[in-house]
Structure 1
Amino acid sequence: MKISLLLVNTLLVATLSGCFGTDPAVENFSDYQQRLANVLDTEPLPLHDAVVIALPRKRELALPVEDVRMGLLDAYELRECGLFQLVADRNSILGKVQDAFRQLDYEVKLLSTLERCLDLIEDPTLTVTLKDVQAQKQRQINTVYWNTFTTSEAWRKQLAPSGSAMVSPDAPLPHSDALLAIGAFSKVLHSPPADIDIIAMQEPIEKQRYLGALFYSMDESTRWLNTITQQLERDDGRVICGENRDKTRLNYLRNVFDKFFVGDVQPYLAKINGLYLDVQPALEALNRQLPGTSAFLPYGEAYLGGAHYQDFQQSIKNHVGYWQSLFKRCQLEVGNTLKK
């Protein structure tokens, strides 16, 4: 009994899609790849290895911060300028168990309060003590900032994907509060204390998952595109141009390009690109000021430094470049649908 080619192709697409679950973005890439294989009468190329870089564990990233002791805290001047109360609150029962965001908030306020006190006090001994404390705390602030970014539960939830699903093609551009909080956090060390609210940043960073999902979607898009481009290059000899061209095959191939790449895949790539560009200034600011560790370097270079974004852009350029060269070789007009 003969089974129609259409039925076989339909079963192949359904089987391949089923291997990847019901992730809409994956289904778009998978469907596009399978349709190309169908037209050129080949098999889909196995997907390249994943390029996602996992966030290192807390214990690999946390940096030590030494306690700084302050004498003469009962001095009247320190009560007047607010330092006594600030330190007392920090040393209370609740203050000793505060989380990373509150610890960073305290350190930023402490530096600001020390500066204010030094402008007000006149006692030479107290001035020497406070200047020494200020110098030590100024040296530590980047480390406290780093520890908040890499070891707090809020930031770790933000930086890690919530699962193995890519950003949905149909979802609206998400998480404006998280985007604002990420941008604000990147400016903490360079903004006047009165202009920042570190505690208010914690909730959107923790609850609105933006970066992890974006990084995962960007990497997976790169993986799919590179695989499909390699498949097209492998099968390029099956596309005959010139006098012996197969007009039916060329027409089908052009239809797959229009419907599945231009119609589905390219808008998704543009969405991922836009999401990254929205947060890129904050990522670059974080990358410049974080002290870093060797364990964090691969993750930091890939996502904060933009190396994987460049890979993503290059995968798009290579894929579009293949189609441009093919249509030029076969003298097909493509209008303005191709974009690098």
Structure 2
Amino acid sequence: MWRLIHYCLLLMLAVSVTGCDPFASPDSMMDEYLSRLARVLNVEKQQTALEPIRLIPSVRDRRAEIPKIDISVLEFLSLYGCELQVVVAERNSILGRVMSPLNRLRYNLRFIATAQECLANTDKPALKHSLQQAIEQKQQLLSSVAWNAVWAGEPMAALLSVSKGYYLADTHHVTTLGRLVAGLEKTRAILTQLQSEAIDADLTEMGDIQQQWTFGHHAGQLLNSVTMLTTRLEDATALIEQRLHVKPLCYKSKSNPHAERVKGVFFNVYIGRIQPYLSEVSRAGKLVFGELDKIALAQASIMPAGFKSYHLDVISMTNKNGVWQQFDKAMTSHTKSWQALLEQCGMQPRASQSLS
């Protein structure tokens, strides 16, 4: 009994300590960094309000339009004994009308395959002509259907949702991140097959992959983190720049107690706490959004107009005004400001103590 009570007290103490640790979460860590930096530099702390994060567009704006292909009733009845009759009937059923985008892609591949079989086994000229037209139209629309299977479904919306907090660089996130990236690579490989009209593309893994998107939320968490970090790094750079515009930190580059305290914040807080998290968010972002960007660019010709600006601002790794290039810019600027400050005292980090 006493052992149980002792365990509960230790657990409560651990929770209490964690709750008071300013470095326990990414946002409080950056707030603490700003506070300590302002204090040690003897400048007023300035903290910019975070801008709302751009949400993924609605289904309507990210969905490619798919024209409907009809087979007349008489032609449909003449398909008796052909599996295509079963396929079309399933599509026109109540459940078939509410197919998920991924199941719609499966249906289209099945339609093409069974229509080709029927075409080879029928001797009716009119039916042959209709089947050939239907196959060609389905093949032409396959890229759009594949786009919707990836971008227009709920799994992608869940993956990019920003309602699940910040990305945590813990063991769980790093492990699940690897599975997410592998799934995105597999998705891109499947889309490459479909672009070459390979109707035998294997979609068996796609259900599991999209289930990972539904429950992963890593992309949205990374967006939360990169947006917050960019703003806070810009705030921190402004504090250092403010200090650089007054008298030098050191006289004739000779260190002093004040400079040593600044150096302590640099090594203990920035290098010890902030930089590892910046590096992990940058690494994870390049892996996840690098793959998402490749997938989107591979389908650029059919990207819906309502999705293009979101792609540029949020997903693109190369757009200079996008969140990822702005993050890189904020890190570079902050590095240069620290270098300029430490140079005043001859305390530039050695090569093994990288600022980047």
TM-score higher than 0.5: yes
The match for 2:55 is 54
SS at match of 2:325: helix
| Map 1:238-257 → 2, pairs under 5 A | 238-243=247-252, 247-257=256-266
* Number of the residue aligned with 1:138: 139
* Cα distance change, pair 121–330 in 1 and its aligned pair in 2 (3 A): farther
Aligned residues: 319
Are residues 92 and 231 of structure 1, via their aligned partners in 2, closer, same or farther at CA, if it must alter by over 3 Å?
A: same
Query: Does 1:317 find its partner at 2:332?
Result: yes
Note the residue ranges of structure 1 that are not aligned, 5 or more in a row. 1-16
Alpha-carbon spacing, 1:99–1:248, altered in 2? closer, same or farther (3 Å): same
What's the TM-score, normalizing by structure 1?
0.82
Alpha-carbon distance in 1 for matches of 2:116, 2:286 = 37
Cα distance change on mapping 1:132 and 1:280 into 2, 3 Å = same
Question: Do the aligned residues in 1 keep the contact of 2:249 with 2:344 (CA within 8 Å)?
Answer: no
* Matched-pair contact (CA < 8 Å) for 1:320–1:338: no
How big is each residue's C-alpha offset from its partner over 1:175-200, in whole Å with a ceiling of 9 and x where there is no partner?
A: 24433333333343322434332333
Q: Which residue of 1 aligns with 2:166?
A: 166
Alignment of 1:1-340 (within 5 A): 24-47=25-48, 49-50=50-51, 52-71=53-72, 72-75=75-78, 79=82, 82-115=83-116, 118=119, 123-163=124-164, 165-172=165-172, 173-175=174-176, 176-191=178-193, 192=198, 193-197=200-204, 198-236=206-244, 237-243=246-252, 247-288=256-297, 289-290=299-300, 291-306=302-317, 307-335=322-350, 336-340=352-356
- Deviations 1:11-32 (Å, cap 9, x if unpaired)? xxxxxx99xx996111211111
Counterparts of 1:265 and 1:174, CA distance in 2: 21
**3-state DSSP class of the match of 1:143?**
helix
Rounded Cα–Cα distance in structure 1 between residues aligned with 2:118 and 2:260: 77
Gaps of 5+ in 2: 1-18
RMSD: 2.9
TM-score calculated relative to the size of structure 2: 0.79
SS of residue matched to 1:111:
helix
Task: Give the Cα–Cα distance (whole angstroms) in 2 for the partners of residues 116 and 325 of structure 1.
Answer: 72
Distance change (3 Å), C-alpha of 1:244 and 1:266: closer
Is the 2:289–2:316 contact (alpha carbons within 8 Å) kept by the matching residues of 1? Answer: no
Match of 1:14 in 2: none
CA distance change for structure 1 residues 239 and 121 in 2, over 3 Å: closer, same or farther?
farther
Which region of structure 1 is more displaced relative to structure 2, 151-160 or 132-141?
Answer: 132-141
Taking structure 1 as reference, are residues 36 and 161 closer, same or farther at Cα in structure 2, changes over 3 Å only?
Answer: same
The answer on whether the counterparts of 2:66 and 2:144 sit within 8 Å (CA) in structure 1 is yes
Give the drift of 1:160: 1.4
- Quick one: distance in 2 between partners of 1:280 and 1:153? 18
CA distance in 1, matches of 2:81, 2:263: 76
Identity %: 21
